[in-house]
Amino acid sequence: MKLLRQVTDLPAELRRGAVAIGNFDGVHLGHARIVDRVIEKARDAGGAALVFTFDPHPVRLLRPQQAPPPLTWTQRKAQLLAELGIDAVIAFPTDEELLALEASEFFERIVRRQLDARAIVEGPNFCFGRGRKGTIDVLRSLAEADGISLDVVEPVVVDGDYVSSSRIRKLVADGQVAAARAMLTQPYRIRGMVVHGAGRGAKLGFGTANLDAIDTLLPSPGVYAGRGIVGDRRYPAAINIGPNPTFGEGALKVEAHLVGWDGSPLYGEPLEVDFLDRLRNIQRFAGPDALVAQLQDDIQRTRQAFQQFELADKLAGGPGGG
């Protein structure tokens, strides 16, 4: 899978295929349905299956104070789309010039001239161009005039409502990571740089990797069962988000205890962590002994959640998300 930043001088093998345009934040089941149709249309056209997305999200330039925290970073988004079968992701740099293009100009410059697309696949609420004036009906008119096929894919419904990035964002923000996972193609993941902490976890026998510089949405404070990714290996991860009231600390921290990790400290290294389930709220314990007993229970439940997910993923033939 190729991750590109521009569409100028696009390789011939990536032209005259099928494309879906959008933000694809989180890469959820609705996106997967669109991707399936893109691949089908690309096969019919004898070309590549492409996703054209924006980096950063346009709202970060248009209304930065209203911009929601992203669910995925660009490389992760491209990885998830590749796992679904996309041949190339174009993460186009969002700038004032791009946002100023009228819908017809965007279509002419990007879809016709640069991509030379033979097919387009979108959801029913797709909008593009300056002021989001390019509705799906406008796109249909432009596509028909150039002999380009347009497929409009209906959203996926889970628990009686449409799957969307905004719905998943709210679930993650509320700590409902298992419910969010049911709507995503892979568990919700964050990444951060491992930094030095107080070292208290190691003294208690539960060393943790303290994460900083996290650039995506954080789940609400709590203790979570998850999965840590180090290179090509995955470990059960008990994740703590929040303060440490037992020791009088009020600052929010993100700590991950990698169960079974026996390597060297990861200071200065990036670490990615998946969220599988929420275990409990942050609480104050009477002392270190009570805290250790609770941590032992957290780790046991984390192992179980990890094993259950890995087994289900293997049976489903999934990529493992590494």
What is the average pLDDT across 198-218? Answer: 82
Whether residue 302 is predicted with pLDDT greater than 80 in this model: the reply is yes
Asked whether residue 148 falls in the same domain as residue 215, the answer is no
Confidence of residue 248 (pLDDT cuts 50, 70, 90): low
pLDDT at 200: 66
Share of the chain above pLDDT 70, in %: 95
What is the average pLDDT across 39-58? Answer: 96
What is the average pLDDT across 194-217? Answer: 82
Domain end marker among 120, 138, 158: 158
Residues in Cβ contact with 186 at an 8 Å cutoff, skipping those fewer than 6 apart: 27, 80, 83, 274, 318, 319, 321
Confidence of residue 14 (pLDDT cuts 50, 70, 90): very high
pLDDT at 264: 84
Confidence of residue 11 (pLDDT cuts 50, 70, 90): very high
Domain membership of residue 126 (yes or no) is yes
Phi, psi (degrees; rounded to nearest 5) at 226: -150, -160
Asked whether residue 45 falls in the same domain as residue 111, the answer is yes
Q: What confidence tens digit (pLDDT) does each residue in 252-277 have?
A: 899 999 999 987 889 999 999 999 99
Residue among 33, 201, 19 at smallest CA distance from 111: 19
Domain membership of residue 221 (yes or no) is yes
Asked whether residue 117 falls in the same domain as residue 241, the answer is no
Range of the domain at 92: 2-158
What is the average pLDDT across 22-34? Answer: 98
Asked whether residue 39 falls in the same domain as residue 151, the answer is yes
Asked whether residue 198 falls in the same domain as residue 284, the answer is yes
Q: What confidence tens digit (pLDDT) does each residue in 61-102 have?
A: 988 888 899 999 999 999 999 999 999 999 999 999 999 999
Q: What confidence tens digit (pLDDT) does each residue in 111-129 have?
A: 999 999 999 999 999 999 9
Residue 229 near residue 273, CB atoms below 8 Å:
yes
Q: What's the pTM value of the predicted model, to 2 decimals?
A: 0.94
Domain containing residue 45: CATH number: 3.40.50.620
Asked whether residue 151 falls in the same domain as residue 193, the answer is no
Could you give the number of structural domains in the chain? 2
Distance separating alpha carbons of residues 301 and 279, to the nearest angstrom:
8
pLDDT at 250: 65
Domain membership of residue 182 (yes or no) is no
Domain containing residue 288: CATH number: 2.40.30.30
Distance separating alpha carbons of residues 61 and 15, to the nearest angstrom:
29
Whether residue 139 is predicted with pLDDT greater than 80 in this model: the reply is yes
What average pLDDT is seen over the chain? Answer: 93
Residue 166 near residue 68, CB atoms below 8 Å:
yes
pLDDT at 265: 86
